[in-house]
Amino acid sequence: MKARHPVFRITGPALRLMVVSVVAVAVTACSQSMVLKPEAEVPPPLASQLPLHIAVHYPEEFRTYVYEENSDDRQNWSIDCGPSQVVLFDQVLPALFAEVSHVNEIHAAAGSGLDAILVPRVEDMQFALPHETRTELYEAWLRYSITLYEPDGRKITEFPLTGYGKSTTSLFSGREDGLNSAINEAFRDVGARLTLGFRNNQAVRPWLLAKQAEAGAGAGP
């Protein structure tokens, strides 16, 4: 007696659907598009706090910053860095200043007790993939400008803040993972430079000395 086995036949429409699906998957896999939302994994810095009350203002374009590019080599690139940048500064600034608060505008209310308002802005972002640089590295460069304002809105000073991150290619991880890792390294670098460089920054130092003198005079007889 012959055993009966179920028979599966791929008919014409089903076969066409299968071919179309396989082609669609292959095209998607080879596409140059890149949609990322990197996360800033920045630990709390080890730093001694400056005895200052600083308010931070994140402009709308900073909070929602998305790097976009659409060229022949980089089709539909969208790297959403806004939320991670806020996380980065919210992690680093409280380690640097005795008191940190948030304000929605540069002009703070009178008598707020603030020493300054700090406003970060994105100046530039650049990314590189291994095949573009003929290396085995994913790379990210971030450039911000940091502006300090008096509580009444007068500008005190402005200085640039940069960060660089790289990660190596791995056999089993995709380019999204590689670039995410490089961007996270760049965020860490920005945090490190801000923490270690703020006190000795040429643009900030005169203001810090003036604040120290002011505090010394206030504490005097």
Partner 1 sequence: MKTVRTHGKSCLMRRVAPASGVGRPLWPGRWLALPTLPLLLSACMSTTVIDQHRVTSSAPVEIGDESVVVLGRRQGAGQETEIDFISCVGEQLGNSRNGLSVIPEKQFVDGMYPYFEASTAPSDVKNLDRLVQNPAVAEKLTEFRVRYFVWIDGFTERVDERGSMSCSIGPGGGGCFGFASWDDEANYEATIWDFESLELSAKVSARTTGTSYMPAVFVPIPLLARVQSNACRNMARQIAQQLTTAPG
Residues forming a β-bridge with 35: 78
Give the 3-state secondary structure of residue 127. strand
Per CB under 8 A, contacts with partner 1 among 70-129 are none
CB of 212 to partner 1, least distance (A): 19
Nearer to partner 1, 25 or 196 (CB): 196
Sheet holding 137-149, edge to edge: 97-102, 50-56, 116-128, 137-149, 155-168
CB of 135 to partner 1, least distance (A): 7
From candidates 46, 109, 171, 217, binder to partner 1 by CB under 8 A: 46
Least distance in Å: CB of 157 to partner 1?
Answer: 22
Size of the site for partner 1 (CB under 8 A): 21
In sequence order, the 6+-apart residues with CB closer than 8 A to the CB of 16 are none
- Supply the minimum distance, in Å, between the C-beta of residue 73 and partner 1: 23
Q: How far is the CB of 118 from partner 1 (least distance, A)?
A: 18
Between 147 and 184, name the residue whose CB sits nearer to partner 1: 184
Q: DSSP alpha helices (H): ranges in the chain?
A: 12-30, 60-63, 82-96, 130-133, 175-197, 205-219
208 makes contact with partner 1 (CB under 8 A): no
The DSSP string of 166-206 is: EEE--TTS-HHHHHHHHHHHHHHHHHHHHHHHTTT-TTTHH
Amino acid at 85: Q
- Rank residues 66 and 137 by Cβ distance to partner 1 and give the closer one: 137
Collapsing DSSP to helix, strand or coil, 115 comes out as coil
Q: Which of 192, 201, 207, 208 binds partner 1 (CB under 8 A)?
A: 192
CA distance 87 to 24: 37
Closest to partner 1 by CB, 4 vs 134, is 134
> Segment 127-186, which members bind partner 1 (CB under 8 A)?
135-137, 164, 166, 168, 185
Residue listed under structure tokens 């920045």: 42
Binding site for partner 1 (CB under 8 A): 42-48, 135-137, 164, 166, 168, 185, 188-189, 191-193, 195-196
